[in-house]
Amino acid sequence: MNFTISKYLCAVLTSLVLGLSSIVIGADVIRADVCVYGGTSGGVAAAVQAARMGKKVVLAEPGRHLGGMTSGGLSAVDIGEPRSVGGIAREYFTRLAATVGTTLSWDKPFNNKGGGPATGGAYAIEPHKAEAVFDQMVNEAGVQLHFQAKLAKVLKKDARITEWEAEDGTIFRASMFIDATYEGDLMAKAGVSYTVMREGNAKYGETYNGIYYDAKYTPRLDHLQPGENGRVKGGQGVWDRDFPLDPYQIKGDPNSGLLPLIQAGDPGLVGAAAPGVQAYCFRLCLTDDPANRLPIQPPPDYDPKTYELVVRFIDACKANGDDMDLRWFSKYDALPNHKWDFNTATFGGNLPGASREWPEASYARRGEIAKEHENYHRGLLHFLATDPRVPQKVRADMQRFGLPRDEFTDTGGWPHQIYVREARRMISDLVMTEHHTFGRQTAPKSVSLGSYGTDTHEIRRIVKDGVVTREGKTAGGRGGFGPYPIGYDCIVPKQKECENLLVTFALSCSHTAFSSLRMEPVFMVTSQSAATAAVLALDDDLPVQALDYEKLRFRLEKDGQVLTWKFKDRGSH
């Protein structure tokens, strides 16, 4: 029989048996016990765990790098309470710190000497070293790795995924699937319920959800002067200063139109449901070493008029008596070898509103959105380094820095990963809310612990009461409550929707709860737990929803996971 005909008949028979809706001739077929989609930090943790449990594992990543944000510029990691992190996440950070001769103390609480949140300086390592550790762990575990595997469609039989197809025609077949993408792409294609809306407060009885205006970020005059650490009494940094800035092209004239960087839109009702996800940015790794420094080129269409609002911010700071330096535009944390992890600010890398389309966008459109963020940020840095309206101290500070030659070498020193702080969120039988993160309720069947504060980046930069206002931003604690459980039922879909899928970043929670549990170490821990559950459910031939939790808990604790908070102190918050 002709080989092509034979291959076709085989595909037809397979399609009939499995009830598949399409036939792909000549496509590569990748088979595994467990398929992890998304080579993020969580994706690596999940793949390594499933492989260590003896399964054939494929890790498919739509990009070209492993580690997501943990190797993509987020070098000063928001660790929260170190004692709440176990398993592969603890192993990873221990190995990473060892690359610079640092030994981490996992048995001690975070010692916050700087007056800020629980960002662990000991975990601040260069991006290329972070990626190398991820690569090593995947290789050691024998995980089959596929880059540039962009998801096109998912095929199901009843409530089970049978395979998914990439844009290049490659087919991935497995018995269990884990969605470890930031966006929840596999979950969405599989027909699982999700939202991209900020729920109204009334839905779950919350306080910080929906449209929100934090008193700390209400535009005002008379800001306090900072100490040497860049923070005022109470901990707020100079990079978070909101003045009552005029939003119009001609000051005082609404008919003249809005300045760039401001969105049109009604302020809305506080607590009402609203679209929009947290602002995205690139977390830049910059260097002040002349031998390793590349210039930060402005975008091709650079126009200083884009940053007129920044000029008004500078004028307001000067009128406030601020002795401005670069920290007013980016908190930046030291890394080894003359490098720095640059965060965002009131006017920093964040581009509020530009991320709204991202969760549902195609890969091509996401590339365009990422470029929009990059061009804005490049232009801002060029403006800060060169524009005569910028204070000389800020310009001199900015001129010290450039992109490192030895980081992100295939993208010219610019990070390969945009900071997707929030995208889709699954809706399952358990929805984590701020009642869980603030300790008013306890999620059953713990698979990890969250420990960070309620940290939501602004959703919009709009006009409210005649001045520029950041809507949706929060940056506070959780009422003093310590680490809290993240429940198993929030990482599995409703059983009627999918029986062989676990979702570890786009998990089931409200917008405000997500603001606490979205941190990378938590993502890694939760993903390892998901992989353990996938293997156990596969071995017992069960839907993931029917897995015996006590059996899961036993294996998680055996593998060094921390599932309950046993310390008398409340830990970092």
In this predicted model, what pLDDT tens digit does every residue of 64-73 receive, in sequence order?
999 999 999 9
- Domains of the chain by start residue, with CATH: 1-26 (no CATH), 27-197+424-459+476-558 (3.50.50.60), 198-411 (no CATH)
Q: Calculate mean pLDDT across residues 384-400.
A: 98
Residue 122, pLDDT score: 65
52: which residues sit within 8 A by CB, 6+ positions away? 141
pLDDT at 20 over 80: no
Given this model, what pLDDT does residue 228 score?
Answer: 93
With pLDDT > 90 as the criterion, what percentage of the chain qualifies? Answer: 87
Report the pLDDT averaged over residues 541-545.
Answer: 98
Please give the pLDDT value at position 121.
Answer: 58
CB atoms closer than 10 angstroms to residue 296: 22
pLDDT tens readout for residues 407-447: 999 999 999 999 999 999 999 999 999 999 999 999 999 99
Instruction: State residue 107's pLDDT score.
Output: 83
pLDDT one-digit tens code per residue, 551-570:
999 999 999 999 999 887 65
Q: Which pLDDT band holds residue 571 (cuts at 50, 70, 90)?
A: low
Beta strands in 263-409 (DSSP E): 274-275, 284-287, 293-294, 332-335, 339-342, 403-404
Which pLDDT score, from 0 to 100, does residue 303 have?
98
Instruction: Give the phi and the psi of residue 290 in degrees, each rounded to 5.
Output: -55, -30
Angle at 289 between CA 286 and CA 295, to 5 degrees: 55
Give residue 173's pLDDT.
98
Q: What is the mean pLDDT of residues 183-200?
A: 98
Listed in sequence order, the residues at least 6 apart from 137 whose beta carbon sits closer than 8 Å to its beta carbon are: 44, 48, 88, 92, 95
Question: Mean pLDDT, the chain, as a whole number?
Answer: 92
* Tens digit of each residue's pLDDT (9 = 90 or more) over 294-312: 999 999 999 999 999 999 9
Per the rule left: phi > 0, alpha: psi between -120 and 50, beta: everything else, 53 is alpha
pTM beyond cutoff 0.75: yes
The stretch 230-250 carries a mean pLDDT of 95
Q: Inform me whether the pLDDT recorded for 90 exceeds 90.
A: yes
Give the pLDDT score at 569.
65
Pairing of strands 176-179, 501-503: parallel
> Mind listing the pLDDT tens digit for each residue in 255-303?
999 999 999 999 999 999 999 999 999 999 999 999 999 999 999 999 9
Write the pLDDT tens digit of every residue in 445-460: 999 999 999 999 999 9
Contact 124, 343 (CB under 8 A): no
User: Burial level of 383, CB count in 10 A (0-12/13-18/19+)?
Assistant: buried
Neighbours of 108 (CB within 10 A): 9
Counting beta carbons within 10 angstroms of the beta carbon of residue 116, is it exposed (0 to 12), middle (13 to 18) or buried (19 or more)?
middle
Which amino acid makes up residue 292? N
